[in-house]
Amino acid sequence: MTDAADSDDHDALADREWRLIRDDPRDGATQMALEEIAAETALEDGVRTVRTYAWEPSTLSLGYRQDAETVDWNYCDREGIDVTRRQTGGGGIYHDRRVDISYTIVAPADEVPGDLMDCYALFCEPILEAFERLGVDADFASSEQDAIYQPSCYLRDIHPAHDIVAPASSAATDDGDERGDSSGDDGNPAPKKISGNAQYRQRDVVIQHGSISFDLEPERHVGTFDADLEASTFTDRVTSIREQTGGETAREEAVATIGDALRDWCDADAGDWQDRELEAARDLADRKYGSDAWIRDREVLEAGEQ
């Protein structure tokens, strides 16, 4: 995409009606259901949504096609970790209530670039801006990195289209980066993943959501998977806002900064969910995102079946 085209897309977004929801912590099933409801609102009411949110309780979200057998169900039950399944592909993400910051962008498909890479570039603009405001040297990965453990989003292959790494200034390709080592050949720290982003289309609407690491809980992250993974495997591959800012940034500041960047990107007004949206999301969460049929087998229950 040219700079002129990118500017045109950005200006067109700001000319539409957007709301920013600084959302309350909710269970994972409801958080995923709210994205689908926001898509309906974008089509039916002409109101687009950007939001920040957290997961309560902490939740493992599986990728759309991920095998449920990769989950350590006993560990999740013992630790009080919920499990849901996303509409987007990729690997599982452990969303810790304290260390994960998540966001959503929802807009009609005909208002955004049709090319997937261009759409990622546009929708990740406010996320990269937020990192800059927080003093984090972050950018899209400059090269692919091989997967360490495919079922985990943060340990699978790193893709330059939608994975954000830090410190970006260390992203020059070398053998250390390709192996996923913690340092490059020049002795500088190799870039590590700090944010994963994914998109899907639902009823002519594009929904992008992403996970941003404010801090790390490596033991709990690897513990949710039925695999012999060391916590160091995770910390060798993943970094966080807290690590990159030397512990100087509070979570509340990070969440507020991400919300502000989303607001400024599309000139959104402060907003909230309508009562009917929350009611519809609760129903969808019961029938889909919170049901074993969906979580384990990707089957959606009809009304009255749950």
Is the predicted pLDDT of residue 175 greater than 90, yes or no? Answer: no
- Greater pLDDT, 10 or 66: 66
Sign of CA dihedral 139, 140, 144, 150: positive
* Residue 189 binned pLDDT confidence (cut-offs 50, 70, 90): confident
Q: Higher-confidence residue: 9 or 55?
A: 55
**pLDDT score, position 6:** 59
Category of 122 on φ-ψ map: left (φ > 0), alpha (ψ -120 to 50) or beta:
alpha
For residue 99, the 8-state DSSP code is T
2-16, 176-190, 202-216, 286-300 — which is least confidently predicted?
176-190
Q: Which amino acid is at 244?
A: Q
Fold classified for 3-134+211-297? BirA Bifunctional Protein; domain 2 (3.30.930)
Mean pLDDT of the chain: 91
Residue 152 has pLDDT above 80, yes or no: yes
CA distance 20 to 265: 11
Give 48-95 as a DSSP string: EEEEEE-BSS-EEEEPTT--GGGB-HHHHHHHT-EEEE-SS-S-BEEE
Whole-structure pTM value = 0.91
Alpha helices, DSSP H, located in the chain: 3-14, 28-45, 73-79, 116-123, 125-134, 175-179, 218-223, 231-235, 241-244, 251-266, 275-284, 292-297
pLDDT in tens, 97-119: 999 999 999 999 999 999 999 99
Per-residue confidence (pLDDT) for residue 236, from 0 to 100: 97
pLDDT digits (tens, 9 = 90+) for 202-223: 879 999 999 999 999 999 999 9
Q: Which residue has the higher pLDDT, 132 or 175?
A: 132
pLDDT score at 282: 98
pLDDT at 225 over 70: yes
pLDDT per residue over 76-97, tens digit each? 999 999 999 999 999 999 999 9
Listed by start position, the domains of the chain span 3-134+211-297
